[in-house]
Amino acid sequence: MPHPDAPALPSVPAAFELPVPAEWQRIEFISDLHLQAGEPRTVAAWLDYLTHTTADAVFMLGDLFEVWIGDDVLDDAQSFEARCCERMRAIARHKALFFMQGNRDFLTGPTFAERSGCTWLSDPTAFEFAGQRYLLSHGDALCLDDTDYQRFRAMARTAAWQDAFLRQPIEARRAQARGMRDQSHSHQRAAMVYAELDRQASLDWLQAARATTLIHGHTHRPADHELAPGMRRIVLSDWDLDATPARAQVLRLDRLQGLQRLPWPCPAA
Amino acid sequence: MSNPQVELHITGHGVVTIELDAEKAPKSTENFLSYVNKGHYNNTIFHRVIPGFMVQGGGFEPGMTQKDTAAPIENEAKNGLKNTKYTLAMARTSDPHSASAQFFINVADNGFLNHTAPSAQGWGYAVFGKVVKGTEIVDAIKGVKTGRKGFHDDVPLTDVVIEKAVAL
């Protein structure tokens, strides 16, 4: 337990401050789509959403892709990833798209950013909108109970680890990624329950960023949590259009109407 | 009629005895016993171990080959049973009614996993039993060294194998 007078732990990262254009009226957030070739309905819903959203900006907060084995998947113009990037880039011509890495797609790199037309978001990122300050994160870095994962994460976000991993032939990396999935169902999702975000660490992050609302994904447990008076944590839903019932939800932050959760497709307005 | 019991014989660790709640979780109990009786759990591992949270198994053989399962079952999480320490719950994807063979043992009071509403986000994880003997073995399992294997996190570096599961 740190001494009460000790300075903030080095594990509280400095948030990147994102300037928000004054003309933005509406920002929307999605995460945890786990896009993959074997789930075309989820991919279609995502593209439909990006094409038709009335938001000025869409923030994709991690695990957009089920897995990303390296930017060299984009070398093949017909690959699933290349086609997704092509569609994003077309949409990015008239709509601001922002991308934050998650624990599944943390190997996305500069080629992805360029080919997708997305603006890169650090984890965490802070911004101010309509007089309130928000902090955005994928959420995995705050699941402190999972010490094994935190050790891996610290290592896997270093250039040394990533260079070593990416040096493996692409087929070797593909084989490892395939090992994640059930052999009989190429796209079956894993039966996983995620640990909860650490409450004190979430508060520390918010306080360091001078923000009152943390928006994140990762746990696939959408809910609003009051962390302390005036401080809250809002969790995004994952997307799965093959589930019964299907799941696809957008968090909207509107200058006049505040925060709302909306299913996709949305009913009118 | 007393609740059914199952022994998990864990190689190198010992026997964990589970009592299933047939009254409050009849479908999960029947489902679990069906897997036990056809030998599904034999030679499966605890493949995901997170101390302070839960230990999960019943789905993979040593070497992380996933075993085939039968159809998924209805989520019984609104049965009032809570995800307290040493209870067993059905593992599943984010799809509320996707549980089949995998289960986890809570190694802490995980209230955030309880049912709050019959919605995608509120369904929670269905508790269907509890450890009645061998909690010290569960404590030993949660303490094993873990690491990343391929793209799986929190995998015991030395396999924790359920040699056999036996209905009493």
Residue A164 domain-assigned (yes or no):
yes
Domain enclosing residue A52, as ranges: 22-181+191-263
Task: Find the mean pLDDT for residues B40-68.
Answer: 96
Encode pLDDT of A94-123 as tens digits: 999 999 999 999 999 999 999 999 999 999
Residue A7 domain-assigned (yes or no):
no
Question: A17 vs chain B: nearest CA distance in angstroms?
Answer: 31
CB contact under 8 A, B91 and A193: yes
pTM: 0.93
CB contact under 8 A, B121 and A191: no
Encode pLDDT of B120-163 as tens digits: 778 999 999 999 999 999 999 999 999 998 888 999 999 999 99
**Residue A233 in contact with partner chain B when CB distance is under 8 A:** no
Residue A26 domain-assigned (yes or no):
yes
Question: B23 vs chain A: nearest CA distance in angstroms?
Answer: 25
Q: What's the number of domains chain B is made of?
A: 1
Query: pLDDT tier at A10 (50, 70, 90 boundaries)?
Result: low
Q: What's the number of domains chain A is made of?
A: 1
Task: Find the mean pLDDT for residues A55-71.
Answer: 97
Instruction: Compare CB distances from A146 to B50, B91, B150 and report the shortest one's residue.
Output: B50
Rounded alpha-carbon distances, angstroms, from residue B52 to A195, A236, B34, B49, B105: 9, 24, 30, 9, 11
Residue A13 domain-assigned (yes or no):
no
Residue A11 domain-assigned (yes or no):
no
Q: What CATH number has the domain bearing residue A105?
A: 3.60.21.10
**Residue A166 in contact with partner chain B when CB distance is under 8 A:** no
pLDDT at A18 over 50: yes
**Residue B99 in contact with partner chain A when CB distance is under 8 A:** yes
**Residue A243 in contact with partner chain B when CB distance is under 8 A:** yes
**Residue A149 in contact with partner chain B when CB distance is under 8 A:** yes
Which chain B positions have a beta carbon within 8 Å of A180's beta carbon? 150-152
Q: What CATH number has the domain bearing residue B32?
A: 2.40.100.10
Domain enclosing residue B64, as ranges: 5-167
